Amino acid sequence: MALPSSTRPHVSIGGAPLSPTEVVAVARDHARVELDDIARERVDASRALIERLADDPRPHYGISTGFGALATTFIAPERRRQLQASLIRSHAAGTGAEVEEEVIRALQLLRLQTLASGRTGVRAEVVELYAGMLNAGITPVVREYGSLGCSGDLAPLAHVALAAMGEGEVRVRGGHVTSAREALATASLIPVVLEEKEGLALINGTDGMLGMLLLAAHDLEMLFDTADIAAALSIESQLGTDAVFAADLMQLRPHPGQRDSAAHLRALLAGSGIVASHRDPDVCTRVQDAYSLRCSPQVHGAARDTLAHASAVAARELAAAIDNPVVTPDGRVESNGNFHGAPIAYVLDFLAIAVADMASISERRTDRALDVARNQGLPPFLAHEPGVDSGFMIAQYGAAGVVSELKRLAAPASVDSIPSSAMQEDHVSMGWAAGRKLRRALDGLARVLAIEVMVGVRAQQLRAPLPPAPATGAVAALVRDACGGPGPDRFLSPEIEAATDLVSTGAIARAAASALSPITHEEDS
């Protein structure tokens, strides 16, 4: 639920590029946006240029011509308002399920940032209306299908522009659906009548796919930490060793993500009586742990490095002003191809691959914990009374089913292209589709990690009276409160959902972090 207006943080639009944290704050927490004076000056200056070109008898694309394949068709001045309105109405052609509020708000905000850059030529009232809609909690209804990720996220952005015109449907605070005109009136906002160039400026951007990338990157930072925690529970409870995560061994292959994941695992396992119980070679005769345990930092680290690359791409895109045609700083109005979504589409797909592999190694660790031949003395499926009870047998089925789905979602969307607009737009990025499937993949990863955490906690409890590490013990206490402890079989689905909620909200990550020794954490950082 959004905070009251008086207590919500404010995000300034028009100065420095938005930060990923600011985008998440507006998209999820309804932080207020404010336009700075510099933005208004830039907007007024570029609009004056557009109005001069509108009076020029020579055609200028997007100002006095049609669009796309109709770019050579001159439009008389008295028809241009109709042209802009028709553009938005025709392009608001999405279909399918509604897109999530946070995605739409991110899209609105990112388009607002570009409008406020002075590179699009829109009037100040358009910019102010977009800010007002965000602050009033007016979220246009956007449908899932319609964007090919080239010429911008045309259909999703057109649905937002349609609402700014007072047409179409929106959701207001509380989730109620109403007409855009009614919602604007309630918020004392005036629908815009679009002038030359403004229709194009409102829909030519990569804002939807970028918004989904920023939201995913924010969540993945926490999920990757949670994956380390799940692995630590598995390593500890399956009597694995932490010696293979030593800093000097990691330095032999100096990938930063691997280094960070290994340091996290060392900190999580520090002080574990379970790990200490089998350090003596006379007690433990195993030479090496299985790959899913021993290679956790290598796999988790590769995913972290993939996220770092994707975040770098997102940062560059946040600093961009995308429109076609675009008003350049020296006062030209130039056509360009900056709206093509390939840079974002590629990293969205890359992250989906990393997510699938993270879930895959997690499921393998879960399976080992349940197999009496490999779990170092634990009961089959961690059942209370094997034979009568099935324990976590079918929970592993659920994880396996999700991993199979994630492998399908890892197939890249960006390698596909279907020509559109009478072959004018003959190569497209499919970046919006890449963003949609990545969001589904993140949900799947959270579920697979939740099952590993549940299994790891149960296995850890079955090692009693050996004490766990403080960090894994804190996680176990949290999970036990939400899901119960060992015992006969019970209705498991609600417990999996509860554990998934603990993962998705970051509660697992916070519980582990709160128990880490400051000294150990500093040494490993």
* pLDDT tens digits along 2-48: 555 555 678 999 888 999 999 999 999 999 999 999 999 999 999 99
Cα–Cα distance measured from residue 350 to residue 206, given in angstroms and rounded to the nearest whole number: 18
What pLDDT does 69 receive?
60
Q: Which of 126, 140, 132, 143 shows the shortest CA–CA distance to 199?
A: 126
Cα Rg of the chain, angstroms: 27
pLDDT of residue 54: 86
Check if the beta carbon of residue 473 is closer than 8 Å to that of residue 274.
Answer: no
**Do the Cβ atoms of 54 and 77 come closer than 8 Å?**
yes
User: In 10 A of CB 280, how many CB atoms?
Assistant: 8
Residues paired with 425 in a beta bridge: 420
Where does the pLDDT of residue 283 fall: very low under 50, low under 70, confident under 90, or very high at 90 and above? Answer: low
Predicted local confidence at residue 261, as pLDDT: 98
| Locus of tokens 């994707």 | 310
* Predicted confidence band of residue 282 (pLDDT cuts 50, 70, 90): low
Question: What pLDDT was estimated at residue 3?
Answer: 52
pLDDT of residue 524: 53
> 17 by DSSP, 3-state: which?
coil
What is the distance between the alpha carbons of residues 7 and 214, in angstroms, rounded to a whole number? 24
Beta bridge partners of 326: 334
Query: Of 127 and 281, which is predicted with more confidence?
Result: 127
| Domains located in the chain, CATH noted | 5-205 (1.10.275.10), 213-418+431-524 (1.20.200.10)
Separation of alpha carbons 314 and 311, rounded Å: 5
Per the CB < 8 A criterion, the answer to whether 246 and 473 are in contact is: no
- Active site positions, annotated: 61
DSSP run (H or E) holding 399: helix 393-409
Per-residue confidence band for 397, with pLDDT thresholds at 50, 70 and 90: very high
Collapsing DSSP to helix, strand or coil, 32 comes out as strand
pLDDT mean over 308-313:
98
Specify the range with the lowest mean pLDDT, choosing from 48-52, 259-263, 305-309, 449-453: 48-52
pLDDT > 70: what percent of the chain?
94
pLDDT at residue 375 greater than cutoff 80: yes
**518: pLDDT confidence band, cut at 50, 70 and 90?**
low
Q: What mean pLDDT do residues 438-462 have?
A: 98
| Amino acid code (one letter) for 8 | R
Q: What is the pTM of this model?
A: 0.94
What is the spatial distance between Cα 122 and Cα 125, in angstroms, rounded to a whole number? 8
pLDDT band of 1, cuts 50, 70, 90? very low
Provide the residue type at 486 as one letter: P
Q: Work out the angle at residue 127's Cα, subtended by the Cα atoms of residues 125 and 130, and round it to the nearest 5 degrees.
A: 105
Q: Tell me which residue of 192, 173, 169 sits closest to 182, measured CA to CA.
A: 169
pLDDT at 497 over 50: yes
Which residues does 335 contact at the CB level (< 8 Å), separation at least 6?
61, 324, 325
What one-letter code names the amino acid at 436? R
User: Rounded CA gap, 335 and 423, in Å?
Assistant: 18
Angle, helix 493-504 to helix 507-515, in steps of 10 degrees: 70
pLDDT tens-place string over residues 225-271 = 999 999 999 999 999 999 999 999 999 999 999 999 999 999 999 99
Helix (H, G, I), strand (E, B) or coil at 372: coil
CA atoms within 13 A on the CB side of 433: 20
pLDDT tens for residues 173-205? 999 999 999 999 999 999 999 999 999 999 999
Show the tokens assigned to 514: 């709160």
pLDDT given for residue 418 in this prediction: 80
Report yes or no: 369 and 234 within 8 Å, Cβ to Cβ: yes
Whether the pLDDT of residue 394 is over 50: the answer is yes
Q: How far is CA 122 from the centre of its chain?
A: 29
More confident residue, 459 or 15: 459
Q: Tens of pLDDT along 63-93? A: 887 766 666 777 888 888 998 999 999 999 9
287 vs 388, which has greater pLDDT? 388
The mean pLDDT value for 318-332 works out to 91
Beta pairing class for 139-140 and 169-171: antiparallel
pLDDT for res 9: 76
Question: What's the number of CA atoms in the CB half-sphere (13 Å) around residue 146?
Answer: 22
Per-residue pLDDT, averaged over 289-306, amounts to: 97
